[in-house]
A and B are shown apart, each in its own frame.
Chain A
Amino acid sequence: MTTIKELTQEDYFLSGHTACPGCGGAMVVRETMKVLGRNTVVYMPASCLLIFSDMYPYNAFTVPSLQVLFETSAICASGIKRALKRLGKDDVTVVAFAGDGGTADIGMQAISGAAERNEDILYVCYDNEAYMNTGIQRSGTTPFGAWTTTTPLGGTEEGRGKNEFKKDVPRILMAHDVPYVATASLGFPADFLKKVEKAKAKKGFRYLHVLAPCPVGWRAESDSTIDLAKLAVETGIFTLLEFEDGVLTLNREPRFSPVRDYLKLQGRFKHLKDDQIASIEKWIKDKWERDRALAKALGPKPKAPVMVTK
């Protein structure tokens, strides 16, 4: 495994892109690309990433990249890979970088299809917990209680931020029994890089879900990205886990520090009442209980049917 110290000084996602200060998404892409290297083709959907990296005539990637549509990351990455295979370039890594909206919501059908077919691609979801590019609208992965522009504050029940809990995308992917599913946080770079390296080495469908704080959308200071990414893990609200060949491992037992420490740094949670914070605390507790039970219950997946290879 490459340590952070050994990580290449070379960048495949260059500075000069136009992401906001403290953008977690840009950090996810830059660090992932350092591990994937130059023998890579990138797909990205219409997203913050596209706008801050590939606005003609500017381009931040030193590797080839394609953008087709918002909901087509998984299928387009699959199409690229199939074509590369035909061209005798099966050694090229094909990676899709998509946000949470393009993944958890509008892109879900294509991801599910690609996962079921075990397409040989790496899918990286940088989860900034809302549609940030279009101006902070709620998505399936927006956490409970969060203010967004489509869950605004007001005097009624509807005016207390998002009323639903975060969609658990990694668990959906686990249900597809793909070779590799992992979550990561920018606050734990060694763990993150190790997982990218592992994912790169595997064949078949690999899914990485990386928490990518967005200071603009989270209404936080632009130098708090890494602190937020650490606190999300230490409060237990975001779980570091790994699912390999059917075996689920919870990578880091958090300190379970009060979730209020995490919430109070973010303007999107400023309005939360005690009962809402209590709901979040309970949700964290329940989630950990269930994930622990799940980790215990999930054994190695059933062996694949025997195939005669050419």
Chain B
Amino acid sequence: MIESKVAAKGERRMVTGDYAAAWGAMVSRPQVVAAYPITPQTMIIEHLAEFLAAGKLDAELMRVESEHSAMSAVVAAEATGVRTYTATSSQGLALMHEVLFISPPMHLPIVMSVVNRTVAAPLGIWVEHNDTMPQRDTGWMQIYVEDAQEALDMVLQGYRIAEHPEVELPLMTGMDAFLVSHTIESVDLINQEDADAFLPPYKPVHAYLDPDRPLVLGAASPPEYIQESRWETDLRMRRAAEVLEETDRAFGRAFGRTYGGAFETYRLEDADVALMTLGTVTSTAREVVDRLRTQGERVGLIKLRSFRPFPMERLQDATAHLKAFGVYDRAVSYGVGGPSYIEARNALYDTTTMPILGFLAGLGGRDVTPADVELMFKKTLGAVGRGRRASGVHWIGTRGVSP
């Protein structure tokens, strides 16, 4: 986060990430909210229910019977022409999977907060990104946040990106289970007036259900038409990469803090090697970068925020001077490696021959220590000059497995 002093300030309070997300939703003025409880997302909908009961939130709150219905309800409400919000985690997102595909082609800019949690089996409630990353090809944008403030800010930013007339795509934010969702931090709770100034009311252009202007949404289509719909959705996802950057800058002008758009860099400019992280591990990695720098190692960091749209060209430019690159993932595509490692290799194939290493750690919510991150840097440094053959996937901190 990059902060400046001259900007709108809300009330600063000590709250959890879940509270911050709920607050972000509230000040975004959704008109229909539908949700189903799942650990560790529960506090988000509890707080929204409290805001409703206290008269602070003016919305239809649908306490539905499953996540499948939560997503279906917001799809239908958004299709009717109102702003909607939902939140989930883990199995809940997996249950929503079928419904996720509906909104991108239908131009439904839903915003959802996801608390990233392990997907069974084995059952676990701690952080892993194996719930959101498999949703990669549904057409949803995916933004990973690092702390409670970002969880709040990205709901507000999320609507502005999603509802942009050239985007009209749904957006999910991912926050690490417990490390963000349940950790109490000092958060600037944006006030309603400032939120309204940043986010105008939603005006549907392509999706509404109104007897005075009849429209068919979700018609069956023969092959003659579906491919164009796919192309058009792809186009909007590409445009979203630009809108994401513009929106973050606009947010900075309004609130005095920005997040670097699709990714934030740290001591990258003069670095020889860099690590790319996402989520809370980033905070640990900054410390490790500083420590290694004092030891004379020229290391830097990229905090990846936007997994979809994936910042292909920006990443090519940002890494052009590097001699080796490490990519950390908290999810695994079995037999291949971490999802963002795969993305990074794909993005950089045309522009570099440096080694790109994949690191898997913290799966199932295992702590990722400074020593773990240091090992990632050391391995990346060790790969300098060895070319693409030094690329590969390393499991860090796995019992009985040498990294």
Contact = CB atoms under 8 A, between A and B. Distances in A.
Interface of A: 38-41, 43, 46, 50-51, 54-57, 59, 61-69, 71-72, 75-80, 82-87, 89, 92, 109-110, 112-113, 116-117
Interface string B214-229: 1111111110010000
Contacts of B82: 83, 86-87
Residue among A38, A72, A75, A113 having the largest count of chain B Cβ atoms under 10 Å: A75
Contacts of A55: 219-222
Contact of B99 (A69, A87, A89): A69
Interface string B20-34: 000000000001101
B99 A82 contact: no
28 contacts: A39-B211, A41-B209, A43-B76, A46-B220, A56-B216, A56-B220, A57-B225, A63-B214, A64-B216, A64-B217, A65-B216, A66-B209, A67-B218, A67-B219, A68-B102, A69-B99, A71-B68, A72-B68, A75-B73, A76-B73, A76-B75, A79-B34, A79-B77, A83-B76, A83-B77, A83-B82, A92-B211, A110-B65
Q: 9 nearest interchain CB pairs?
A: A79-B76, A113-B65, A83-B80, A67-B218, A76-B76, A79-B73, A83-B77, A72-B72, A82-B60
* Secondary structure dominating the interface of B: mixed
Contacts of A86: 31-32, 59-60, 82
Contacts of A82: 32, 60, 62, 73, 77
* Secondary structure dominating the interface of A: mixed
Contacts of A77: 76
B217 A69 contact: no
Given A56-B219, A83-B81, A84-B80, A64 B74 contact: no
Interface in B69-114: 69, 72-82, 84, 98-99, 102
B66 interface: yes
Contacts of A50: 219-220
B64 A113 contact: yes
B11 interface: no
Contacts of B65: 109-110, 112-113, 116
B137 interface: no
A79 B75 contact: yes
A46 B99 CA distance: 13
Nearest to B79: A66
Interface in B331-365: none
